[in-house]
Amino acid sequence: MALNKKSMFFTITAIALIALVVFSLTIYTGYKLRDKVMVTETRVYSMNSFIDDVEKDIERGLYISGFRSLMSMEQYITDNGIFLYNVNSCFKEAFLNGTINDSQMGLMNESTFINWTQRIKEQAIKLDIIVDFDVNEVIIYQENPWTTNIGLNITLNVEDIKKTASWQRPLYIITNISIQEFEDPLYVINSYGRVTNIIIKSNITNFVSGEDTTNLKEHVNNSYYIESTTAPSFLMRLEGNLSNSAYGIESLVNLEKFQAQEVPIKSRSVVDYIYFGTQSTDDCKIKNMPSWFMLDKDDPPNHVNLYQCECVEE
């Protein structure tokens, strides 16, 4: 009987010890698991914050590289005396590689979008984060006369160096760049590089008041621009395309600047896309304006009416 009691005591004691050990291990494992979860959550949060910063950096990089690419395209036209063969192709080449037609563009030195992403990668690795970018597409286009849009389709791949977490995020980012203060390539090419014209939007709406042509003269002297659906857009001008566009702009060519640079002048409407083009128009000289100043009176667009002028009777 005493032996049985002693055996039962040892059995109960053994069970209690085993239970204590299991309980201790459970608590230890729980704490360890909780710590691991907390570390993972902290890491994930840090990486998510990093991704948010990267997206903002991509937007900045898109604007800066895009702006420099546009400037490089204009520089290429000026240096080579030719229009671009394809705006989108040339833009993409400059934006990603820093070249146009395989010619290195100085303005893109360390300023391509690839350079930008490389700097992000270098900063990321210092935080034990691996970042990679897949550029799926980049395009340049217009949705209004005074700005260009740059659209970037990119896939962002982010991974913790210890493989704690990883993301793959597709992004489509758009930035807008004003065309004002850029050169009009139509002037550069058609003046043999001797005359340039900066795109400035005109604030003049009333060009002629009775016999007073002061506003029109100011508009012409500075070759300001207005919106025109019968004229080419800025991007079309980079290709020398004189067709009409819903996002077109036009200026009036100041032939006195051409004469000052000994550029031969033509006797025809001074509306830029007509003057630099080959289309035939019915033109006339304008009252109270210089003798070289002519506008077309064909419908449409009838620039005599558009600029509120009267033809000189001959």
Q: Which stretches of the chain are assigned E, i.e. beta strand?
A: 99-100, 103-104, 129-144, 147-160, 166-178, 225-227, 249-251, 283-285, 294-296
User: Rounded to two decimals, what is the model's pTM?
Assistant: 0.84
- Return d(Cα 129, Cα 116) in angstroms, integer: 17
At 259, which amino acid appears?
Q
Tokens of 283: 């033109």
Q: Using pLDDT thresholds of 50, 70 and 90, give the confidence band for residue 36.
A: very low
pLDDT in tens, 130-177: 889 999 999 999 999 999 999 999 998 988 887 777 778 899 999 999
Element (DSSP H or E) covering residue 143: strand 129-144
Mean residue pLDDT of the chain comes to 88
Is residue 95's pLDDT more than 50?
Answer: yes
Residue-wise pLDDT for 172-222, tens only, equals: 999 999 999 999 999 999 999 999 999 999 999 999 998 999 999 999 999
Q: Could you give the 3-state DSSP secondary structure of residue 57?
A: helix
Top pLDDT among 212 and 56 is at 212
Residue with tokens 């991974």: 159
The more confident residue out of 299 and 289 is: 289
User: What's the pLDDT score for residue 63?
Assistant: 96
Q: Quick count: other Cβ atoms within 10 Å of Cβ 281?
A: 17
pLDDT in tens, 247-273: 999 999 999 999 999 999 999 999 999
249, 46, 223, 75: which is closest to 145 by C-alpha?
Answer: 249
CA distance 187 to 247: 19
